Structure 1
Amino acid sequence: MYLDTSRDDADTAKVVEPRWHAARETLAEAGCDPLTVHALEDAVLDHPSRPGRHGLALFATAGEVVLRRTLGTPPIKDICAYEPLPHVMPMIAQLARETEPDTPITDRVDDGLTEVVTHLSRGQVDTLLLIDDPSSTERLWIGPDPLQLSDDPEVLNAAGVRHPPLVRADAAMMRALTAADASIALVAAGEHLRGGVGARLRFAEVRR
C-alpha cells in the first residue's frame, strides 16, 4: 500500500484517516484478510506525524507489517494491491527519482519482455533496465522458485508447476532479480526498449 500522508496542521487524523478508509475498502474488496488490514491500519494511524508533504509505503502479510518506509514525497497516487507478490515498483521508482537520474543506454542490451524474462529465468541478467510505466498491465506466470517466471504458462507446466499464479510483470522480475543478486536501473521514457524493458547480461556461467 502507498499512501499520501501529507498534512498541513497538527490534526493528522483529519487528513490521513479518510485516505486510509478508502484504502481499507479497496483491500477488503480485493480479499485481504482482516488481520492484515488491521495491522496496516495500526501502522498507518500510529505512524509518527510531521508537517509537510510525504508518503508511506507499507507491505504486509498474514497479519503482520513486514516493511514500513517513509517516502520523501507523496506517491503519485494512493495505491492498494493484494497479490501473491509485493508491488514494490512504485517505491523503487520513487526512491530512484529522489536520489539519482535515469540511466542512459550507452551499450548494447537485450530488450523485449519475452527475451528478458528468459534471461532472468536462467540467472543471466546483471542489470535490468526498465522504463517505469505505472499504467503497464503486463503480467507473468510464476512458480515457487523466484527464477520460475514466464509469459507462457506451459513453460512452467513443463517444469512441473501446476496452476501457476499470474502476477504483475514488474513484481515477478523484481523477485527474480533479488534471487539472482542482480540490480535494476531506471531509464528515461524516451529511450528505445521494446516493451519498456531490457537487460545487460553477465555473459558468464549460468546459475543452476
Structure 2
Amino acid sequence: MRLSFLERLYKQPGPFASVYLDTSRDTAVEDPDAAVELRWRHLRDALTFEGADEDSITAVARTVGCDVDVPGTHGQAVFTAHGRLVLLDELPAPPPRDTAHYGSLPDTMPLIVQHAPGIAYLALQVRYGGRHSTDATGTVRIDAEAGVWPLTKVTQGHHLHEEVPVADWLHAAEVIGRELEGHARRVNTEAVIVAGDVWARGILVNRLPAALRGQVITVEGVGESQPGRALMEERLESLFSGRMAAHDRALLDAFLAQKARDGASDEGLPAAVSALQRGRVKALFLNDHPESTLRLWVGPDPGQLALTEQELRSYGVQDVREERADAALTRALVGTRAELVVVPEQQLQLRGGVGVLLRYADPAPHG
C-alpha cells in the first residue's frame, strides 16, 4: 500500500491530536447525533488529560460529526495540529473503539488498517426483465461503479448509469464496454464483478475489452444497494474478505523470495529500524497489533529513529523523544516513500510482527 494519502499530514509540525470516532447515525439509538456528541465529549476529556492545546481540541470539535450525509455504519479519523485541521478521513467501518491521542507524531495505524486491502475494482449490475430477444419490449439497465475497496463504502467511486432499449442492447453493450474501460483505467482495476440477468450480462461481458474480460467474476442475482454506499456492497464484502490487493501480494511474494534466499535476517523490529535509518526499505510488512506497547526513539526527521535513546544521540540527534513504534515506523515509511503491507497473522506470522523488503542488497564483501 502506498501511503501518499498521509504525506500532507507529515508536512505539518506536531504535536497532533488524533481522534477516531464512530459517527454512524442509522442505528437503534433514539438520538444518534446526541450519541456522537457524547462519545466526542469523552474523547475531548482524554485529549485534555494528555495535554492537548485548546485550539487543536476546538478544531476537532468543529469537524466531528460533519459526515451527516454518509449513510450506514462508518466512522471518522480527524487529525489537528496547532488549532488547524490537518487531515480528515471517512472510515469505511466504525473504529473498534473510540480513541484520542495527543503527541508529537500522529496515530495513523488505525487509519491505514481501514484503507486495506485497497483493491481496485469495477462492479456491474445488469437488469432486464423481458424475454431474451432483440425484438422484446422493455429496456436493459446497467449500473456500474469503479472504486477502491473498502473506501468506496464511504467515498463515491466513478459511476455509470445507462438504460437502453432491448433492441439496441447488442450495439449499446459494445459502446458501454469501451466506456467502462475508461472508468476501470482510472483506478487500475484488478477485479470486475458482474451481477444480474444472465442473458444481458453475458452480452456485455463478451463485448468488454479483453483486459477486463480476464478479470470478470460473475455473481448471481441483483442486490439492492443503499444510496450513498458502494454498489453491491454485501457481495464485495464477501468476495474481498481476506484477500490482498494484487500489488501488495506481489510485494509479499518478493519478500518471501528474499526471505528464502537470506533467511530471517530481514524480520524483527531491529532489522526494520536499521533498514529505515539507511533508506533501504522498499516495503514494510506488519502484523497489526493495536495492543502493542513497543516504543521507539525518534528525532525531528523521518529517518531519525532508533531502539534506544543512546543510539539516537550517538548519531548527533539532540531533540529526541519516545513514541509508539507503529507511529515512528509509519512516519519513516512516508518520509522515504516506502510502502506498507498489513499482513493478516493467519496468513503469515512475522518474527517480531514486522519484516522488510529491501530496495537493494548489501554489497558482497570483498574476498
Secondary structure of residue in 2 paired with 1:7: coil
CA offsets per residue over residues 109-152 of structure 1, 9 Å max, x none? 41010111010110000000000111111110001111010011
Which range is displaced more, 128-137 or 107-116? 107-116
- Quote the residue 1:32 is aligned against: 52
- Correspondence for 1:182 among 338, 342, 363: 338
Alignment of 1:195 onto 2:352: yes
Aligned to 1:159: 315
Q: Which residue of 2 aligns with 1:23?
A: 43
3-state SS of 1:80 partner: strand
Contact map agreement 1:12 1:49 (CA 8 A) in 2: no
Equivalent pair of 1:143/1:161 in contact (CA under 8 Å): yes
Give the corresponding residue for 2:21: 3
**Can you list the C-alpha shifts for 1:135-194, whole angstroms capped at 9, x where unaligned?**
111110001111010011111111222351100111111111111111011112132312
CA gap of 1:34–1:63, structure 2 versus 1, over 3 A, is: same
1:75-94: per-residue Cα shift (whole Å, max 9, x none)? 11111111110110001011
Q: CA RMSD in A?
A: 2.1
- Whether the 8 Å CA contact 2:294–2:324 is kept in 1: the answer is yes
Tell me the distance in 2 between the aligned counterparts of 1:141 and 1:187.
Answer: 25
Q: Distance in 2 between matches of 1:13 and 1:94?
A: 23
Query: Does the 8 Å contact 1:127/1:184 carry over to 2?
Result: yes
Identical-pair percentage: 41
Q: Which piece of structure 1 moves more, 48-57 or 136-145?
A: 48-57
Q: Distance in 2 between matches of 1:39 and 1:47?
A: 15
Q: Which runs of 4+ in 1 moved over 3 A?
A: 9-12, 45-51, 97-100, 102-106
The question of 1:139 aligning with 2:295 is answered yes
Shift of 1:204: 5.8
CA distance in 1, matches of 2:295, 2:53: 24
Equivalence map 1:1-208=2 (5 Å): 1-8=19-26, 11-97=31-117, 99=150, 101-102=243-244, 103=249, 106-109=256-259, 110-162=266-318, 164-190=320-346, 191-203=348-360
Q: In the aligned structure 1, how far is the partner of 2:343 from the partner of 2:26? A: 34
The alignment's TM-score, normalised by the length of structure 1, stands at: 0.91
Q: Which runs of 5+ in 2 are unaligned?
A: 1-18, 118-148, 151-239, 260-265
SS at match of 2:316: coil
Mean Cα displacement is larger for which, 102-111 or 163-172? 102-111
Q: Distance in 2 between matches of 1:179 and 1:204?
A: 21
Checking the alignment, whether the CA contact within 8 Å between 2:74 and 2:93 is kept in structure 1 is yes
Instruction: Report how far residue 13 of structure 1 moved.
Output: 2.1
* Aligned residue-pair number: 206
Write the distance in 1 (CA, Å) between the matches of 2:349 and 2:58.
44
Larger Cα-atom Rg? 2
Deviation at 1:52, TM superposition (A): 2.0
Q: Is the 8 A contact 2:25 2:33 kept in 1?
A: no
Deviates more, 1:189-198 or 1:102-111: 102-111
TM-score normalised to the size of structure 2?
0.53
Kept in 1: contact 2:302–2:331 (CA 8 A):
yes
